[in-house]
Amino acid sequence: RGAVSRVLDAFRAGDPVLIHDFDDREGETDIVYPAGAVRPADVARMRNDAGGLVCVALPSDVAETLSLPFMDDVLDHPAATSQDLAYDSRSSFSFTVNHRDSFTGITDSDRAMTISRLAPVAEATRAGEYDAADFGGEFRAPGHVHLLRGAPNLLEDRQGHTELGLALADEASLPPAVVVCEMLDDESGAALSKSAARDYAARHDLAFVDGDLLLDGLV
């Protein structure tokens, strides 16, 4: 449980952790933060060092209460189906949001505001103190932060970064909202290799964990 407890400690401290899913799934490493810990410099790290899409995962019950659907369930368009993915049975994408106090929504400070507010929002929603109307009062869609919706039974149902991150937040007793961003290779544009992701973690003193280990430690 070495790598898993290191990841848990880092996560509780609000530090980013690196999670590689599985060689036979996406084969990607995401930088993952508890959403409540994200400041503008963390958004800068995600866009400069990771380079993927900045997304916030919320659990199924919270998404349900807040009326945050799967994108492909609500778009009435022939392109709106994700049942034919090569690496999983469906995508976890919901829609995009900006905090209403943001300006364009894309700057580091705007995105940090949108992301970090989602943590107390998720917690208050679970406590029955926040609903879809409150959400609409505080966020507007479309925006510049992608929302992801976790599978109902998390890792029992799906083993994406969405569920790995949310399960980690549960285990760390943090609010159920995590931000994930894929690490890409600046030279090739491909997903950053697992060994290069490990090197990045070592250079920046960050915790790295493999999905298999995390599954063993969390399920």
Residues marked active site are found at: 30, 55, 87, 98, 144, 182
Considering only residues 132 to 171 of the shown chain, the ones binding ligand 5RP according to CB under 6 A are 148, 160-162
Site for Zn ion in 83-142 (CB under 5 A): none
Q: How far apart are CA 69 and CA 74, in angstroms?
A: 7
Ramachandran area for residue 67 (φ above 0: left; ψ -120 to 50: alpha; else beta): left
Helix (H, G, I), strand (E, B) or coil at 30: strand
Q: Which is nearer to Ca ion, 4 or 179 (CB)?
A: 179
Report in angstroms how near the CB of residue 113 gets to Zn ion at its nearest. Answer: 24
Q: Which of 24, 84, 186, 205 binds Ca ion (CB under 5 A)?
A: 186
Under rule CB under 5 A, residue 161 binds Zn ion:
yes
Question: Nearest CA to 17 among 34, 1, 2?
Answer: 34
Contact between 150 and 92 (Cβ < 8 Å): yes
Edge-first strand order for the sheet with 17-20 is 93-99, 139-149, 55-58, 178-182, 29-34, 17-20, 207-210
Q: Binding pattern to Ca ion, positions 34-63, x when CB under 5 A?
A: -----------------x------------
Side chain identity at residue 52, one-letter code: G
Nearer to ligand 5RP, 134 or 170 (CB): 170
Task: Work out which of 7, 30, 66, 207 binds ligand 5RP, going by CB under 6 A.
Answer: 30
Q: Is 210 in the site for ligand 5RP (CB under 6 A)?
A: no
Within residues 54-93, the interface with ligand 5RP by CB under 6 A covers 55, 88, 92
187 binds Ca ion (CB under 5 A): no
Determine the residue type at 74. V
Comparing CB distances to Ca ion, the nearer of 51 and 120 is: 51
Distance CA 156, CA 151 (A): 9
Task: Report the residue number, 16 or 52, with the smaller CB distance to ligand 5RP.
Answer: 52
Buried b (16+ CB within 10 A) or exposed e, 19-52: bbbbeeebebbbbbbbbbbbbeebbebbeebbbb
Closest to Zn ion by CB, 26 vs 210, is 26
Give the interface with Zn ion as residue ranges (CB under 5 A).
26, 161
Give the interface with Ca ion as residue ranges (CB under 5 A).
51, 186
